[in-house]
């Protein structure tokens, strides 16, 4: 009977070692990724960031940046103020989301095209999950168009610039 137990333990040992190596590797990758995504400040100051390593567009938290055609970063503290007046497109996204990386340059081009006619903005759902929960964002990217503080259109998944531009134009 003891030989049978020894064989069972010996056959499980390589599998347990492999599982341990995988767990340590995953934990290490998570820590590296967390270190790369914690560089953004959300203190409301004007921030222009070129995230070329992540493929995300240059963005700003300065309200006057809309006139320059820049994507604005929304936070929990400035969200209500930013969406309260006029037409505002909010891209709910996350740094780890591949479709969001596809949507990013589209949103940046749209901001350039819209200029000061509409505000084009982004909200990171990992950093500001309470806002995403408030608007029942369950999949990303989700794009919501607000008019005078009220959500009026919602798009889920990657959207073409023309689709978004037409929806905004209808609300202007």
pLDDT digits (tens, 9 = 90+) for 117-172: 999 999 999 999 999 999 999 999 999 999 999 999 999 999 999 999 999 999 98
Based on the domain organization, do 63 and 134 belong to the same domain?
Answer: yes
Q: What's the pLDDT score for residue 7? A: 62
Catalytic annotation, pick one of 100, 120, 140, 143: 100
Rounded to the nearest 10 degrees, the angle between the axes of helix 161-171 and helix 98-114 is 50
- Cβ pair 139, 132 in contact under 8 A: no
Please list the residues that pair with 13 across neighbouring strands: none
Catalytic annotation, pick one of 97, 156, 158, 165: 97
Based on the domain organization, do 120 and 161 belong to the same domain?
Answer: yes
Of 26-30, 87-91, 99-103, 109-113, the poorest mean pLDDT is in: 26-30
More reliable by pLDDT, 81 or 19: 81
Q: Is residue 103 part of a domain?
A: yes
Domain that holds residue 81: 49-171
Is 20 considered catalytic here?
Answer: no
Say how many domains are in the chain. 2
Based on the domain organization, do 20 and 66 belong to the same domain?
Answer: no
Is 31 considered catalytic here?
Answer: no
pLDDT band at 20 (very low <50, low <70, confident <90, very high): low
Q: What is the dihedral of CA 24, 28, 31, 35, to 10 degrees?
A: 170
Q: Is residue 41 part of a domain?
A: no
Pairing of strands 87-93, 119-124: parallel
pTM over 0.75: no
The chain-wide mean pLDDT, for the chain, equals 78
| Residue 75 clears pLDDT 60, i.e. is over it | yes
């Amino acid at each position: 009977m003891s030989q049978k137990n020894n064989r069972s333990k010996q056959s499980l040992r390589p599998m347990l070692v492999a599982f341990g190596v995988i767990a340590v590797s995953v934990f290490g990758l998570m820590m590296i990724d967390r270190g790369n995504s914690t560089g953004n400040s959300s203190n409301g100051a004007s921030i222009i960031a070129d995230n070329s390593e992540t493929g995300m567009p240059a963005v700003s938290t300065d309200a006057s940046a809309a006139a320059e055609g820049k994507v604005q970063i929304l936070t929990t503290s400035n969200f209500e103020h930013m969406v309260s007046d006029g037409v505002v497109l909010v891209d709910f996204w996350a740094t780890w989301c591949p479709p969001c990386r596809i949507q990013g340059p589209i949103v940046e081009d749209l901001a350039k095209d819209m200029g000061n006619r509409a505000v084009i903005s982004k909200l990171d759902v990992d950093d500001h999950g309470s806002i995403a929960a408030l608007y029942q964002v369950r999949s990303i990217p989700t794009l919501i168009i607000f008019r005078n503080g009220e959500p009026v259109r919602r798009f889920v998944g990657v959207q073409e610039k023309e689709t978004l531009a037409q929806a905004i134009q209808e609300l202007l």
